[in-house]
Amino acid sequence: MSLIGIQIETPLEALANGLREAAWELALEAVEEGLAGETLPSLAELDALSRLGDIPSFIAELAREIADPQPSRLLPESPFLALGREHARRREELGFAPREVLTEFLVLRRVLWRALSQRRELLDAVDPLLVEHRLDSAFDRLVIECAVAFFDRATEELAERARCDALTGLLNHQTFWKEVRSELQRAHRYGHGVAFVFIDIDWFKAINDTYGHPIGDRVLRGVADVLRNDLRESDLVGRTGGDEFAVCLVESDPQAGRIFVERLRELVASLAADHDVPDGLTVSAGCAHFPTEAASAEALFELADTRLYEAKRSRKL
């Protein structure tokens, strides 16, 4: 009988195919091991399907690496490592700590090596250290890639926190003024107009004294939400003091600031219905336009501040 055309499975291929065929069972075993002894406490909060996540797909990819290792499979842009990063991101969204995600990979590695070790006749036909090296190399790259992704996200979050006011989420004082000056430089260079607005919450001290600081904080967050939601993505808004805000309307005409202030007063007046803040909440504002009313940054800020003072004074009369 001729054997021409018949492909004989190598021991490595048999080991890999065994993992692929048992992928779901091995994934379930890894989940059960993660649940035991609260190794992965966040797993207990998920339903059965969510607990599996992408683990069966990982097993299939790892099996390919055991049978036929490819350097391209372990590059950062490879589908395998992209799958790992996405799995880690989804686990974080489900409440997993980074340590739990990395532990989950280590549990899976232990389960897979145990499954391979049970096929002793195939392991003896190859070098067991070779198989273990391939498995470990893949997991090492997976863990490193996820750890780097965690670090990058944490760095981005810290950088964002450093830019933003903790209470309102708006740009903080330092970041706002830095970006406004950069925007004014661009406006001068390209001949754009910029409307600048100072905003102050009226009688804010009385609100704190009468209703307490938690209500005062709610007022600040409510005004911040109005500002954030009413502006274009290209505009700048920051909290510049205790109850003080400032807005920079980029590429705006001389009327933009006045129109914005009128709309802002209407939106703030309606806050009581949606944000549980005291009735009658109002704000005062002063606006100025670059370059039609002020030819420099200092002149722009001074004019807007003067008009804010005049607006607040008129409300107290």
Instruction: State the helix-helix crossing angle for 128-163 and 55-67, rounded to 10 degrees.
Output: 130
Same domain, 226 and 128: no
Which residues have C-beta within 8 Å of that of residue 3, sequence separation ≥ 6? none
Same domain, 88 and 190: no
Shortest CA distance to 310 belongs to which of 221, 226, 198, 208? 198
pTM beyond 0.85:
no
Task: Tell the burial category of 215 from Cβ atoms under 10 Å away from its Cβ (0-12, 13-18, 19+).
Answer: middle
Same domain, 133 and 177: no
Same domain, 151 and 15: yes
Shortest CA distance to 301 belongs to which of 181, 123, 215, 163? 181
Over the stretch 155-203, which tens digit does the pLDDT of each residue have? 877 777 788 998 999 999 999 999 999 999 999 999 999 999 999 999 9
- Domain of residue 250 covers 173-316
CATH of the domain at 202: 3.30.70.270
Same domain, 105 and 125: yes
In a domain, 111, yes or no: yes
In a domain, 186, yes or no: yes
Same domain, 144 and 185: no
Strand bridging mode 283-290 / 194-201: antiparallel
Same domain, 147 and 187: no
Query: Which tokens hold the place of 107?
Result: 């549990």
- The phi and psi torsions of 244 (rounded to 5 degrees) equal -115, 140
Residues marked active site are found at 243
Is 295 strand, coil or helix?
coil
In a domain, 1, yes or no: no
Q: Which CA distances in Å does 244 have to 47, 112, 190?
A: 47, 59, 30
Instruction: Domain count for the chain, please give it.
Output: 2
Same domain, 177 and 234: yes
Which of 162, 189, 222 is the C-terminal boundary of a domain? 162
Over the stretch 57-114, which tens digit does the pLDDT of each residue have? 989 999 999 999 999 988 888 988 888 888 888 888 888 888 899 899 999 999 999 9
Which of 101, 136, 162 is the C-terminal boundary of a domain? 162
Q: Which of 5-9, 31-35, 282-286 shows the lowest mean pLDDT across its residues?
A: 5-9
